Amino acid sequence: MPILTFIIPVRHPQNARDWSLQIKNLKETAASIANQTHPDWRAIVVANDIAEIPDLPANFSVERVTFPPNPQHERAGVDLEQFYDMFRIDKGRRVLAALLRARHSKFIMIVDDDDFVSRRLTEFAAAHQDANGWNITDGFVWGDGGTLLYRHQDFSAFCGTSHIVRTDLYEIPATFEDASPDYIKKMLGSHRFIAPYLEEHGTPLQRLPFPGAIYRTGHAGAHSSSGQILPTFIFNRQNLRKPHAVPIHLARLRLLTKARREEFFGSSAPN
């Protein structure tokens, strides 16, 4: 039984703007996960049976699915709640396909296929196996290819790669068919509901005591509209209307140092 299983849902190829970029980012995410300092982890990539998937590191497996493409993958011209609903169903059922295989893992972490994780996560989970899990409230945002990081202090509300949850708390159904649409959307398809749900049920997540992940933004395949670091977090309209806020956000900038590359990027560090 692994201590920590990472689940990486991959969108349908027809929903990807650039599949070659999708593959490049996935390989870099996989290298980040494979950089764990503790050996007792596994990773499951969930991808359509027609999707080309690159060679992956040891401890990875691929769960093939036949789900159709999300018909409302792009946000433009679509009711916002309907857009979120369709996204959550598409992502959630992919996560569920892997979760059914990973039910014997001690902890689960859902990782977006273009993000990066700290190499310390499995080691930390192994040392705290009685915990319910952790919120990554402290993490970095990185504009793809840049040299700056923004240390986000509400990371778990901003990024999907932000929760480690003890597996039994997911209340995994016996079969895929036993899962309700509401369970798929809220427990598995979004990062916004799991922490409040566990809090309400008396099994709250703790705050991870170190930055646990990097959210990559600004590349052509990103589903989020977030862009580069400076215009997004520092010199945006809201801050410029309140100039005193700019120095506060500037103080959250960090350099992408060699040590941070080694912690988050692994052997296939992006340039």
Q: What does the pLDDT look like over 240-249, one tens digit per residue?
A: 566 666 677 7
Q: What token pair was written down for 258? A: 């060699």
Mean confidence (pLDDT) of the chain: 90
pLDDT of residue 100: 98
Q: How far is CA 132 from the centre of its chain?
A: 19
Nearest of 108, 132, 137 to residue 215 by alpha carbon = 137
For residue 34, the one-letter residue type is A
* 234/69: higher pLDDT: 69
pTM: 0.91
> Are 229 and 149 contacting, i.e. CB atoms less than 8 angstroms apart?
yes
3-state secondary structure of 62: strand
Helix (H) or strand (E) segment spanning residue 164: strand 163-166
Helix (H) or strand (E) segment spanning residue 92: helix 80-99
pLDDT of residue 144: 80
Q: What does the pLDDT look like over 140-183, one tens digit per residue?
A: 999 888 888 999 989 999 899 999 999 999 999 999 999 999 99
Q: How do the domains of the chain map onto residue ranges?
A: 4-268
- Which one of 3.30.1380, 3.90.105, 3.30.450, 3.90.550 gives the CATH number of domain 4-268? 3.90.550
